[in-house]
Amino acid sequence: MKLMRKLLGCALAICMLCAASGVQAEEGDGEAQTMYSMEIVLDETNIDKPSLIIKMEATVYNDSTDEWSEICFRDHMSSLYQWFMYNHEGEDLASGITRAACGDNELTIRTEGVTMPSEPIDDQSAVFVELPDPLLPGESVTLNLEYSADILNDAARCAYSSLVFENEGARTYELAQFYPMLAVYENGNWNIGPYYTEGECFYSRCADYEITLLVPEKYEVIASGDEKKGETADGMTEWMIGAQDMRDVSIIVSNEYVCKTDEVCGVTVNSYYAPNHPENKNDDHEEQGAIQLQTAMDSVAAFTEAYGPLPYDELDVVESNYMFGGMEAPGLIRISELYSWFIGEDDSEEDRKEYAKKCAGTVAHETAHEWFYAAVGNDQYHEAWLDESLAAFSEQVYWRYVGRSEEEVAAVMKSFVENMPESGNATINHVYHERLTEDSHFDYTSAVYQRGAGFIYQLEQSMGKEAFYAFMREYYETYCLGEAHTEDFISTLLPYIEENDEAKKLVDKYLSPTDR
């Protein structure tokens, strides 16, 4: 795997020398893909309104059969601001590509609104950069982009806060979808699904990253891929981040963490957590850090056995101020610190056991996303079930691995199957917004997380474990570092259930026909 990455990196480096016009990839170069080279500054000049300043060189490969006259990037920070400002009046936040060039050519930038069905948000996250010459299929072009974005103070996907408020000067930046990300071109169009703060709606192909990050010297850096600390000058420390074959990169910048490390199945697992504060007996960050490490270790072992090896050699598990239980990124998962609030010395034994178990379940779920979303990608807006249902089912793969009985698993899955969405529709592969009720996300959660997991479990039971996991290993290996759609899942499954009418009925019951 490492040799393959090195060879691919050499081919991409050659492509980057051809900056002004499209260059045809030669046969034998390997599969070309996007390369991001970024210089990023975390600017705290205004400590109450920090920002990111980014200079990006993006080498984009046309992997379609169509000519491209323009290229679409997603500014998801813009989407995040719209949601935040809708709920918090008075905030003034901004992001955007301020300049685009191709060689000596200054390029026109236009922003296109993204349709938000039944939502009060004006999503302007689709940004199109006009090319000086059409980019032909199989060719690549290098664009130079300048981008800036404010960082909001919140418990959001991309924001800053502190984990331990008792520590003066404590601050943690959690940076996700913080740079212009190349949209996916598919079926003759740029895929520009809307952004929602509840439920992931991202879609991107694997790319390679070379990032130079300047941060105030008081901070350490944790990132998708490999991070290396460089020199410090004028109060700023330079960090180098390298990531290969990753759909996106998340970065944590913080002065709060300690780390425990172990290794399993060739994967180094790092658990980052805040040290306990002596004046707060209610919160036990250190216990959460221990749960994170052990659960991630067991999960990696369980999923490697069930599905196949992870294509990355490191996994960072990071305690987070994120508003929900957890959030995945390639090579890095965030686990909400809310679990630490209920496993402290002053909490009841019942609460400690309950929240330790919940924390473990969340870690297992987010770790499973390293297989389904990070390795096997999917369109999360149109087909969220392909990662969320499989991750939710994989929680039970983890629980079995650590000793949960089949009777206990069956009971959990039975409750999931019986959790019928309010709409009464049993199918799970719907567009994200079609699963939302007027006042809640009940339909989305029940369909994608619960009924979807129940569907996978019933499929396992009807096929038998030997056939089911043979299918899952083939599906994972076939689409690893690529993308899969519902029809790909079905086409891989069908040879395994040719004479299994029960399994076929399950597919018909839970998966609507697709119109792709």
Return the higher-pLDDT residue of 430 and 67.
67
> Cβ–Cβ contacts within 10 Å for residue 213, how many?
25
- Range in 2-16, 292-306, 376-390 with the lowest mean pLDDT: 2-16
Residue 259, Cα to own-chain centre: how many angstroms? 22
CA gap 476, 133 in Å, rounded:
38
Strands 34-43 and 181-182: unpaired
Q: How far apart are CA 318 and CA 293, in angstroms?
A: 10
Q: For residue 444, how many C-alpha atoms fall within 13 Å in the half-sphere facing its CB?
A: 22
151-172 average pLDDT score = 92
pLDDT at residue 11 in the model: 36
Indicate the DSSP class of residue 445.
Answer: I
Checking if the pLDDT of 8 tops 80, the result is no
Following CA atoms 136, 138, 143, 147 in sequence, which dihedral angle do they give, to the nearest 10 degrees? Answer: 110
Tens digit of each residue's pLDDT (9 = 90 or more) over 40-96: 999 999 999 999 999 999 999 999 999 999 999 999 999 888 888 777 766 788 999
pLDDT at 500: 97
- Helices vs strands, H then E, count in the chain: 11, 25
List C-alpha distances in Å: 181 to 178, 308, 432: 8, 28, 21
Rg from Cα positions in the chain: 23
6-to-32, 112, 243 alpha-carbon distances in Å? 13, 37, 12
Output the pLDDT for position 437: 52
pLDDT of residue 65: 97
Cβ contact 249:225 at 8 Å: yes
CA distance 203 to 436: 20
DSSP secondary structure string for all residues of 128-195: EEEEEEEE-TTEEEEEEEEEEEE-EESSSSSEEE-S-TTSTT--EEEESS-S-EEPEEETTEEE-PPP
Angle at 166 between CA 328 and CA 325, to 5 degrees: 20
For 504, counting Cβ atoms within 10 Å of its Cβ (0-12 exposed, 13-18 middle, 19+ buried), the class is: middle
Ordered by start, the domain boundaries in the chain are 2-254, 258-368, 385-510
pTM equals: 0.92
Q: Which helix (H) or strand (E) holds 40?
A: strand 34-43
pLDDT at position 162 is: 95
Q: What is the fold, at CATH topology level, of the domain defined by 2-254?
A: Immunoglobulin-like (2.60.40)
**Residue scoring higher pLDDT (459 or 193):** 459
Q: Say whether pLDDT at 7 is over 60.
A: no
SS3 for 107-139 is: CCEEEEEECCCCCCCCEEEEEEEEEEEEECCCE
Say what the pLDDT of residue 117 is.
77
74 CB-near residues (< 8 Å, 6+ apart): 125, 126, 127, 177, 180, 181, 182, 183, 192
Higher pLDDT, 88 or 272: 272
Alpha-carbon separation of residue 190 from 99, 107, 108, 185, 434 (angstroms): 21, 19, 18, 4, 21
Token pair in block for residue 189? 């169009």
> What CA–CA distances, in Å, run from 126 to 97, 190, 262, 335, 425?
11, 9, 41, 29, 32
Please, which residues bridge with residue 334 across strands? 318, 327
Can you tell me whether residue 48 is helix, strand or coil?
Answer: coil
Q: What is the pLDDT of residues 240-263, one digit of tens each?
A: 999 999 999 999 999 999 999 999
Model confidence pLDDT, tens digit, residues 436-445:
554 545 577 7
How confident is the model over 139-161, as a mean pLDDT?
A: 95
Residues sharing a CB contact under 8 Å with residue 246, sequence separation 6 or more, in sequence order: 206, 207, 208, 209, 224, 225, 312, 330, 331, 374
pLDDT at site 443: 73
291-345 tens-digit pLDDT = 999 999 999 999 999 999 999 999 999 999 988 899 999 999 999 999 999 999 8
Q: How confident is the model at residue 98 (pLDDT cuts 50, 70, 90)?
A: very high
* Residue 284 confidence class, pLDDT cut points 50, 70, 90: very high
C-beta of residue 260 within 8 angstroms of C-beta of residue 288:
no
201 pLDDT tier (thresholds 50, 70, 90): confident
pLDDT at 272: 98
Report the pLDDT value the prediction gives residue 115, as an integer from 0 to 100.
85
Contact predicate 486/429, CB 8 Å? yes
Q: Tell me: pLDDT of 423 over 60.
A: no
Reading phi first (left if > 0) and then psi (alpha if -120 to 50, else beta), residue 307 is in alpha
Other C-beta atoms lying within 10 Å of the C-beta of residue 8: 19
Considering only CA atoms, which of 258, 276, 392 is closest in space to residue 325? 392
Q: How many C-beta neighbours within 10 Å does residue 348 have?
A: 9
pLDDT beyond 90 at 3: no
Look at residue 31 in the predicted model and tell me its pLDDT. Answer: 65
Mean pLDDT throughout 4-29? 38
Where do we find the tokens 């920070």? Answer: 77
CATH superfamily of 385-510: Neutral Protease Domain 2 (1.10.390.10)
Q: Which residue has the higher pLDDT, 24 or 141?
A: 141
- When comparing pLDDT for 28 and 480, which is higher? 480
pLDDT at 454 over 80: yes
8 A C-beta contact, residue 333 and residue 315: yes
Say whether 385-510 and 258-368 share the same fold.
yes
Q: How many CB atoms lie within 10 A of CB 161?
A: 19
> How does pLDDT run across 173-194, given as a tens digit for each residue?
999 999 999 999 999 999 998 8
Q: What is the pLDDT of residue 89?
A: 67
Average pLDDT over all residues of the chain: 90
> What is the Cα–Cα distance from 76 to 144, expressed in whole angstroms?
19
Please, which residues bridge with residue 184 across strands?
191
Terminal C-alpha separation, the chain = 33
* pLDDT at 28 exceeding the cut of 60: no
Amino acid (1-letter code) at residue 90: G
Strand 159-161 to 236-246 pairing: unpaired
Average pLDDT over residues 473-502: 97
Examine the pLDDT at 195 and tell me if it is beyond 80: yes
CATH of domain 258-368: 1.10.390.10
Closest CA to 488 of 375, 370, 378: 378
Name the nearest CA neighbour of 149 among 60, 59, 79, 219.
Answer: 79
